[in-house]
Structure 1
Amino acid sequence: MTFTEHLAEFAGLPVVTHGADGAGPPPAADAVAWRITSEGQAEDWEGCLDLFEAEIDAARVTTLVVGSWWQDRHPLEILLERAASYPALRALMLGDVLGEECEVSWIVQGDVTPLLEAFPRLEVLAVRGADVQWPPVESGVLRELRFESGGLPVEVVRGVAASDLPALESLALMLGDSGYGGDTELDDLAPFLDGARFPALRHLGVENCEFTDRVAAALAAAPVVARLESLSLALGTLSDAGAEALLSGQPLTHLRRLDLHHHFLSEGMVERLRAALPDTEIDAGEPLRDDARPGFIYIAVAE
């Protein structure tokens, strides 16, 4: 699987692509998440941002989604230069790029942590790409952090674990394929599981993972689970063994949502999960289990 659709919503707002064909006046600057992309546009990405700022009051913009920028200056560099023009920015997505536009492993982001200083009100940050850096950083306002990758470097995972993010409520890590740089091991996730870090954490996602069963077994006794409201093991390799570990561990009935879509569970195990967690919204999606090839499992996003 690759990313096949652009975001329709981000940070609770509908996404509107600036410069796309459409009738009528533009919405209010703070009413939508503005997607800026050079895909299908006559301008490069910086030129597209120039056109956007000529029409929309950047000082009122709260949410930006960065689309394609191939052969242009990197949007990260441009946004850091223009940070003073966006004093209200609270949510940013870097890399709303489809697989048909560019493989996720080719999306180069670099060090994204300067965004937290440049935009001191930034509460939500999502980053898609394989070449990402996150040295330890401090932020008292960041609430949601998501990395979407086919191969997330372990240095990112360790950097987040060492960061001071007391307001962080939601963390999602798409770990990816070891062949594409996803070199995180189970021990690297310990700071997120032991409950000592991130006291505000209410959602944890360990996604697109080659060792989901081992993560599930660790979660069965992980102290952090008791304070979570939602948990995601989606896009990975969860099998009946991992689900059995979850069911045999600490209670999960307090979870409002459990996301398991893209899994290798038997129908019977899915039914057991639903029966054990009747008040939990469980996204089990479509089963991928291949009884003809019982050992054939794969993550959703790699190249």
Structure 2
Amino acid sequence: MPIRIQNDLPAKEILEKENIFVMDESRALSQEIRPLKVGILNLMPLKEDTELQLLRSLSNTPLQVDVTFITVTNHESKHTDKSHLNKFYQTFEEIRKKRFDGLIITGAPVEQMEFEEVDYWTELREIFAWCESHVTSTFYICWGAQAALYYYYGLPKVQLPQKLFGLYRHRVMNRKEPLVRGFDDYFVAPHSRHTTVPRDAIANCLDLKIMAESEEAGVFLCMAEGGKKIFVMGHPEYDRMTLENEYKRDLGKGLDIQMPRDYFPDGDDTKRPDLMWRAHANTLYTNWLNYYVYQLTPYIWEDDK
């Protein structure tokens, strides 16, 4: 089954060229089916790139998914055209009375700031509180996961000696949970961050269950409340070229950036990177939608009056 998005979202044409089944609003209205309502709070600067990445991941499921893009009001995006935001995004104020089967909260390039220094931190705290009663399961990514772990459990993030950047090998720690059903014992996933939540802090929090971790990159995947909260410390949604684009961007700025680890073939940044994480990324999103959203959400869930 398809993902359902607005008719003229730019990502739609790209997804269709990739043979991903996308249903526009007019066709979806003709079907008598209860789609899953999934919100995406997109905090990334290049919003159209993130839209495409996440829609790809959500498309690999037999479930029909109705996607709503959400933005914060207390921050002005400098890398996405305002007309795109006005046309395809809703603010939190506009959706706060709605209920969602699933919600994705992305990362953001603010990890080296204290949480309280982020201009939309107060609004994000409101959204975290709202999720408790209005969302069946929330999927937090990278900085979004760090922020949620800090808000819900008081776990601080710490600065890393250098940027964690590249592909890292992870081991599945708990096969009894459906979240990692279909995973191999080991898998690789992209990371791109300057901070981390220490493994011991997560392990010592009785509310959290570690699902996958790396000796070098730390905890990759953990969950709480039977899957109501899913925390992903890396970027499984990244495309083949995302790390390369970030690397060349930082080189162009004259920053002291290391080459992404185990990413370019033979360590040669002129060679096209191999795509080695897409299958596990798709499995992760599919498992989340199936076992923690579709299986748990009520069939009829009315919005607030």
TM-score normalised per structure 1: 0.33
* Greater Cα radius of gyration, structure 1 or 2: 1
Higher relative contact order (CA 8 A, sep 6+): 2
TM-score normalised per structure 2: 0.33
Hey, which of these two has a bigger chunk of strand by percent? 2
Hey, which of these two has a bigger chunk of helix by percent? 2
